[in-house]
């Protein structure tokens, strides 16, 4: 649909200019009348979908009220930017995490730690509302992580749910490489 | 008490009137920026300024305060006198054009009998200020933009003048209030086809004279950042913005006067304030039309801009002017 | 490097002054961090020297330090605008070496997600291109905001599927990590119907707009021979008359099941590339509809979900996988030594190869055309610098 450069044919140029102007301005006029799509955040809350990957948190067991985390350090090993640091505390019946630090300012929110957790201890929340002027507040320790877990609404994904969704029905696929 | 000499009374009278008009214009300029921002935002599916004051009504005041409080930075290698004078040389002609505009019959600063000539001549002087700004900034981008601007404004002043002459020919007088009064029955824009075409050509010429998209090669945000204004900040930038928007409103008022029948409207004979209100509304209509065009189009290259001016708009405006003159001549020979 | 470009002003041949202008790494229309040292005579560009590397983040070294389970979410950060396609290249390379099968449902999901990503990426391309050409205070901004508005709907879809809007971590070796939630299919159809309607509006605004045509036709013409010599891919080469689309030539991930047109234009200028991408918009929407209609049941991965970091080991070997990203051919070359991490990884960035055409087409154009051409080449510097 090539056309000769502007300035070549007077009447054709004029006609085309007028028509194209009219068409474009019609589109802008239509949008003038449409409702704006602005969401007045934070006055109105935004609806987060179920699987939203927000802040990270540690959870307690629903029945016993104990911490879910057994300090196995799987999340520490899989985290690509290595923001999680865990120390295990051995006890009689089960292990705990002695310290659990997560550097939220470097976190990628990739959900891999949630994916590997065997006890669904670490999960993500449906909120990202933790802006601060001091980056040190984003170096989360275990207490802070548990607080976040109680404060916001958790999103759908936990370790077991994710792995169940991904694992094919027959147990181990002989798909080529050994595990 | 001895009476003051008549010259002094005149001077004081002119000073007070001019002072009032100037302040009203400056106030209007700041709120016109808000109008443009909200109008543009609605066209883009968003809300404009909203938080400062109810629905953003205090936003222009916040902007003005911010600009006044900013540090005055002058580039080290800049040509200081040229750099400092440029905003003033740019602003003064843009304010002076309001001197000849009659806002209502009898309500105006100086209703010269060469009103429109004064308007067009003075508004062309802002190019000097523009170029001074570009040169004095010692900045390649500013210089390129100033060169482009001079090119463009000179090319588009000619069609602008020819199109502005059409109502002059129709009304038979250069005095602006005469042109406005001659449209009491029917504004010239409704005089099909020449009047409407002239109005459209006027809008295009205004866009180019104001450096509005699609002719804003001068500021070309994505190439030259802010054109000749790039090194200005703080109060000097505020003066340049003021000048630009004042010129914008000035040409809108002129357009409303030349083509839309400045103060004619339902109750305009009862009091001059009604006339002034209609004038304001029509000028805002012209302004919003220009704004609507501005926020809808991409810009075109400088050689294409010049091609449109010299090969398209200038012949068109000449033809319109000649046709108008012929019609007026035929009418007058027919009458007497 | 042109030695004359180092001096600020000098007299070129013919006696005209030559100005060296830096379209520097911080520039509203550099599309990222890109430095072009332009030598100008008046308004005409006579020399261009491109400097890249401002966004280098050592992806290829990261690929050697992170395992096959960790790297896919990092792979999205090469071409961050089309993250799904970048992840797909890496994951397919690993699957190719290890001969790992991908279940049919996972393949269809990959197709849906890649095509939705193409729609989102082209929305961003159109918006930023018009923004560059039209100015941040003007019609460009209007088209930009409209396109971003449409892109937000598509990103909402991704948010409902994955939880993230821009950088996903959706793929894993052997399949995908997330299945579609309830009601997503219906929402997807509604969204792409809306985008299709809005596309009509944009074409109305731009297509026959004389200003837009004057700005893009005849500008930045890449001849067919040049395109094939330099090794361009994607809309750049399809706009120059060569019908080269990896989805057609080497169908991957079940693309052979879908019926879509590969748009080819012969003019080779910015307008041709614009037409190619606008047709690709509609074809992508049609592919998504076909995939949603024919989505088979089944598992979404052939391997169990990731439980530990060293879980995936790929057999010894090497392989190259390429996908058709919105910008061209994105390729990932892996050498595996049988362990949990690759021995060597190399990215073939589409934008990196596409940028090498700039010195050929920018010489002789005006400054204003430089931004139009840069926009139509559509580089993303995550891919260029990695």
B23-77 pLDDT, tens digit each: 988 899 999 989 999 998 888 888 888 888 888 899 999 998 999 899 888 888 8
B21 in any annotated domain: no
- In whole angstroms, give the CA distance from residue B109 to residue B113: 13
- In whole angstroms, give the CA distance from residue B250 to residue B262: 13
Chain A segment 146-165 residues within 8 A of C by beta carbon are: 155, 157, 162-165
B1 in any annotated domain: no
pLDDT in tens, A62-114: 888 888 899 889 999 999 999 999 999 888 888 888 999 999 999 999 999 99
H/E element holding C320? strand C317-325
Interface chains of chain C (3 or more CB pairs under 8 Å): A, B
Q: How many CB atoms lie within 10 A of CB C33?
A: 19
Q: How far is A105 from chain B (nearest CA, A)?
A: 29
pLDDT at B229 over 90: no
DSSP string computed for B2-51: PPPPHHHHHHHHHHHHHHHHHHHHHHHHHHHHHHHHHHHHHHTTS--S-T
The 3-state DSSP class for residue B142 equals helix
- In whole angstroms, give the CA distance from residue C342 to residue C318: 9
- In whole angstroms, give the CA distance from residue C214 to residue B300: 7
- In whole angstroms, give the CA distance from residue C327 to residue C121: 9
Q: C16 φ, ψ to 5°?
A: -85, 155
Q: For an interface test with A, which of C210, C301, C314 has the most A Cβ atoms less than 10 Å from its Cβ?
A: C210
- Lookup result for tokens 């990957």: A53
Domain holding A148: CATH number?
3.30.70.3270
The fraction of chain A above a pLDDT of 70, given in percent, is 89
Domain count, chain A: 1
Contacts of C159 in chain A (CB under 8 A): 49, 51-52
Q: For an interface test with C, which of B222, B227, B311 has the most C Cβ atoms less than 10 Å from its Cβ?
A: B222
Cβ of C302 within 8 Å of Cβ of A53? The answer is no
Cβ of B298 within 8 Å of Cβ of C146? The answer is no
Residue range C59-385 forms a domain whose CATH class is mainly alpha
Cβ of C142 within 8 Å of Cβ of B296? The answer is yes
Domain map (residue ranges) of chain C: 3-51, 59-385
Chain B segment 306-335 residues within 8 A of C by beta carbon are: none
Does this complex have an ipTM over 0.90? no
- In whole angstroms, give the CA distance from residue A143 to residue C164: 26
Q: What is the pLDDT of residue C9?
A: 40
Residue A125: CA count within 13 A, CB half-sphere: 18
- Lookup result for tokens 């089309």: C82
pLDDT in tens, A125-158: 998 888 889 988 899 999 999 999 999 999 998 8
A86: alpha, beta or left? (left if phi > 0; alpha if psi -120 to 50): beta
Exposed, middle or buried, C141 (CB in 10 Å: 0-12/13-18/19+)? buried
By C-alpha distance, the chain C residue nearest B41 is C142
**Mean pLDDT on A156-169:** 87
- Lookup result for tokens 């109502």: B167
Cβ of B223 within 8 Å of Cβ of C29? The answer is yes
Name the residue facing A53 among C156, C164, C304 (closest C-beta).
C164
Cβ of B311 within 8 Å of Cβ of A7? The answer is yes
Q: Which residues contact B13 (CB under 8 A, 6 or more apart)?
A: none
Q: For an interface test with B, which of C7, C40, C130, C135 has the most B Cβ atoms less than 10 Å from its Cβ?
A: C135
Q: For an interface test with A, which of B42, B48, B49, B302 has the most A Cβ atoms less than 10 Å from its Cβ?
A: B42
A169: alpha, beta or left? (left if phi > 0; alpha if psi -120 to 50): alpha
Are the beta carbons of B217 and B224 closer than 8 angstroms? no
pLDDT in tens, B191-223: 777 888 888 889 888 888 887 777 776 665 445
Residue A92: CA count within 13 A, CB half-sphere: 0
Name the residue facing A14 among B43, B295, B312 (closest C-beta).
B312
Cβ of C205 within 8 Å of Cβ of A30? The answer is no
Cβ of B298 within 8 Å of Cβ of C130? The answer is yes
Cβ of B44 within 8 Å of Cβ of C141? The answer is yes
Whether B248 has its CB under 8 Å from any CB of chain C: the answer is no
Q: For an interface test with A, which of C59, C163, C218 has the most A Cβ atoms less than 10 Å from its Cβ?
A: C163
Cβ of C178 within 8 Å of Cβ of A27? The answer is no
Domain count, chain B: 1
Whether B295 has its CB under 8 Å from any CB of chain C: the answer is yes
- In whole angstroms, give the CA distance from residue C247 to residue A61: 48
* Higher-pLDDT residue of A102, B115: A102
Q: What is the pLDDT of residue C325?
A: 92
Q: How far is B120 from chain A (nearest CA, A)?
A: 26
- In whole angstroms, give the CA distance from residue B335 to residue C1: 77
Q: How many CB atoms lie within 10 A of CB C218?
A: 18
Kindly state the DSSP code that residue C330 receives in the 8-state scheme. Answer: E
Q: What is the pLDDT of residue A179?
A: 34
Cβ of C309 within 8 Å of Cβ of A109? The answer is no
Cβ of C218 within 8 Å of Cβ of A28? The answer is no
Number of H-type helices and E-type strands within chain A: 5, 5
Q: What is the dihedral of CA C173, C174, C175, C177, to 10 degrees?
A: -50
H/E element holding A151? helix A142-151
H/E element holding A115? helix A112-116
A171 in any annotated domain: no
DSSP string computed for C190-205: HHHHHHHHHHHHHHHH
Cβ of B214 within 8 Å of Cβ of C138? The answer is yes
Inter-chain contacts counted by CB atoms under 8 A, chains B and C: 106
Domain of residue B171: give its range.
70-335
- In whole angstroms, give the CA distance from residue B72 to residue C363: 39
Are the beta carbons of A107 and A56 closer than 8 angstroms? yes
By C-alpha distance, the chain C residue nearest B216 is C135
Domain of residue A90: give its range.
56-166
By C-alpha distance, the chain A residue nearest C102 is A175
Q: How far is B47 from chain C (nearest CA, A)?
A: 12
Chain A segment 11-50 residues within 8 A of C by beta carbon are: 13, 16-17, 19-20, 23-24, 26-28, 30-31, 37, 49-50
Inter-chain contacts counted by CB atoms under 8 A, chains A and B: 50
By C-alpha distance, the chain A residue nearest C314 is A177
pLDDT at B293 over 90: no
Are the beta carbons of C68 and C262 closer than 8 angstroms? no
* Higher-pLDDT residue of B287, B3: B287
- In whole angstroms, give the CA distance from residue C1 to residue A163: 54
Closest CA to B250 of B2, B15, B22, B75: B22
Cβ of B293 within 8 Å of Cβ of A25? The answer is yes
Cβ of C305 within 8 Å of Cβ of A162? The answer is yes
Kindly state the DSSP code that residue A44 receives in the 8-state scheme. Answer: S
Closest CA to B102 of B188, B182, B207: B182
B117 in any annotated domain: yes
Q: What is the pLDDT of residue B335?
A: 65
Q: What is the pLDDT of residue C336?
A: 92
Name the residue facing B298 among C28, C133, C149 (closest C-beta).
C133
- In whole angstroms, give the CA distance from residue A104 to residue A123: 13
Whether C203 has its CB under 8 Å from any CB of chain A: the answer is no
Low-confidence ranges of chain C (pLDDT < 70): 1-16, 28-30, 135-138
Q: What is the dihedral of CA C171, C176, C181, C187, to 10 degrees?
A: 60
Q: How far is B256 from chain C (nearest CA, A)?
A: 23
Exposed, middle or buried, B151 (CB in 10 Å: 0-12/13-18/19+)? middle
By C-alpha distance, the chain B residue nearest C31 is B222
Q: Which residues contact A15 (CB under 8 A, 6 or more apart)?
A: none
Q: How far is A71 from chain B (nearest CA, A)?
A: 48
**Mean pLDDT on B280-305:** 84
Looking at every residue in chain A, the average pLDDT score rounds to: 84
- In whole angstroms, give the CA distance from residue B232 to residue B219: 13
Whether A5 has its CB under 8 Å from any CB of chain C: the answer is yes
The fraction of chain B above a pLDDT of 90, given in percent, is 13
């Amino acid at each position: 649909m090539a056309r000769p450069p502007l300035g070549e044919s007077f009447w054709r140029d004029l006609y085309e200019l007028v028509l194209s102007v009219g068409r474009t301005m019609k589109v802008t006029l239509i949008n003038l009348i449409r409702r704006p799509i602005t969401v007045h955040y934070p006055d109105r809350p935004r609806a987060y979908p179920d699987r939203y990957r927000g802040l990270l948190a540690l959870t307690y067991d629903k029945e016993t009220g104990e911490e879910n985390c057994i300090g196995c350090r799987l999340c520490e090993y899989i985290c690509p930017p290595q923001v999680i640091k865990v120390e295990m505390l051995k006890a009689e019946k089960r292990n705990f995490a002695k310290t659990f630090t997560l550097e939220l300012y470097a976190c990628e929110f990739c959900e891999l730690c949630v994916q590997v957790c065997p006890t669904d201890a670490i999960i993500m929340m449906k909120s990202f509302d933790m802006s601060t002027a001091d980056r040190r507040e984003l170096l989360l320790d275990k207490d802070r992580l548990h607080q976040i877990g109680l404060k916001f609404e958790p999103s759908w994904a936990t370790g077991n749910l994710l792995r169940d969704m991904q694992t094919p029905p027959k147990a181990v696929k002989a798909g080529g490489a050994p595990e | 008490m001895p009476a003051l000499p008549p010259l002094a009374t005149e001077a004081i009278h002119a000073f007070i009137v001019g002072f009032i008009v100037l302040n009203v214009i400056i106030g209007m300029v700041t709120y016109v920026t808000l109008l443009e921002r909200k109008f543009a935002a609605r066209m883009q599916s968003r809300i404009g300024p909203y938080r400062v004051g109810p629905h953003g009504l205090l936003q222009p005041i916040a902007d003005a305060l911010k600009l006044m409080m900013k540090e005055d930075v002058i580039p080290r290698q800049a040509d200081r006198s040229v750099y400092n004078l440029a905003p003033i040389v740019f602003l003064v002609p843009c304010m002076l054009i309001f001197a000849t505009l009659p806002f209502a019959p009898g309500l105006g600063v100086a209703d010269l009998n060469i009103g429109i000539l004064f308007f067009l001549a003075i508004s062309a002087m802002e190019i000097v200020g523009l170029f001074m700004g570009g040169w004095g900034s010692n900045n390649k981008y500013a210089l390129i933009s100033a060169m482009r601007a001079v090119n463009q404004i000179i090319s588009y002043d000619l069609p602008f003048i020819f199109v502005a002459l059409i109502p002059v020919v129709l009304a038979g007088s250069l005095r602006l209030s005469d042109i406005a009064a001659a449209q009491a029955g029917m504004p010239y824009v409704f005089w099909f086809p020449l009047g409407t075409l002239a109005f459209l050509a006027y809008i295009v010429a205004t866009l180019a004279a104001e450096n509005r998209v699609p002719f804003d090669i001068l500021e070309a945000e994505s190439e030259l950042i802010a054109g000749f204004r790039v090194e200005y900040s703080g109060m000097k930038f505020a003066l340049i913005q003021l000048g630009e928007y004042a010129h914008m409103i000035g040409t809108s008022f002129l357009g409303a006067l030349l083509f839309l029948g400045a103060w004619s409207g339902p109750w305009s004979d009862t009091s001059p304030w009604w006339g002034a209100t209609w004038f304001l509304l029509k000028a805002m209509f012209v302004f919003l039309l220009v704004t609507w065009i501005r926020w809808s189009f991409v810009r075109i290259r400088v050689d294409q801009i010049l091609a449109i001016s010299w090969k398209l708009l200038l012949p068109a405006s000449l033809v319109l002017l000649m046709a108008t003159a012929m019609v007026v001549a035929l009418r007058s020979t027919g009458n007497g | 490097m042109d030695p004359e470009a180092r001096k600020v002003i000098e007299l070129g041949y013919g006696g005209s002054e030559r100005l060296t202008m830096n379209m520097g790494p911080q520039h509203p229309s550099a599309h990222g961090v890109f430095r072009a040292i332009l030598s100008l005579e008046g308004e005409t560009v006579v020399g261009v020297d491109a400097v890249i590397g401002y966004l280098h983040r050592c992806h290829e070294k990261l690929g050697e330090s992170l395992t096959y389970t960790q790297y896919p979410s990092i792979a999205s950060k090469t071409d961050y605008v089309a993250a799904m396609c970048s992840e797909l290249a890496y994951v397919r390379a690993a699957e190719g070496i290890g001969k790992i099968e991908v279940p049919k449902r996972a393949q269809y999901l990959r197709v849906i997600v890649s095509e939705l990503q193409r729609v989102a990426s082209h929305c961003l391309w159109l918006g930023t291109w018009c923004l560059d050409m039209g100015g941040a205070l003007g019609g460009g901004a209007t088209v930009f905001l409209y396109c971003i508005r449409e892109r937000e709907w598509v990103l909402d879809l991704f948010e409902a599927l994955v939880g993230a809007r821009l950088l996903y971590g959706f793929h894993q070796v052997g399949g995908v990590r997330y299945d579609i939630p309830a009601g997503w299919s219906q929402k997807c159809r509604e969204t792409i119907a809306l985008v299709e309607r809005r596309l009509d509006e944009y074409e109305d605004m731009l297509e026959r707009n004389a200003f837009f045509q004057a700005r893009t036709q005849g500008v930045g013409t890449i001849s067919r021979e040049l395109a094939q010599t330099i090794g361009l891919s994607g809309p750049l080469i399809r706009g120059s008359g060569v019908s080269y689309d990896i989805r057609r030539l080497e169908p991957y991930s079940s693309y052979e099941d879908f019926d879509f047109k590969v748009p080819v234009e012969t003019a080779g200028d910015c307008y041709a590339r614009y037409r190619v991408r606008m047709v690709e918009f509609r074809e992508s929407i049609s592919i998504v509809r076909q995939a949603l209609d024919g989505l088979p049941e089944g598992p979404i991965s052939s391997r169990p979900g990731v439980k530990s970091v060293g879980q995936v080991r790929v057999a010894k070997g090497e392989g190259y996988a390429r996908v058709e990203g919105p910008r061209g051919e994105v390729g990932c070359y892996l050498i595996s030594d049988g362990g949990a991490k690759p021995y060597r990884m190399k990215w073939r960035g589409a934008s990196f190869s596409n940028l090498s055409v700039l010195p050929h087409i920018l010489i002789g154009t005006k400054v204003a055309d430089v931004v139009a051409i840069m926009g139509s080449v559509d580089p993303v510097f995550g891919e260029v610098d990695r």
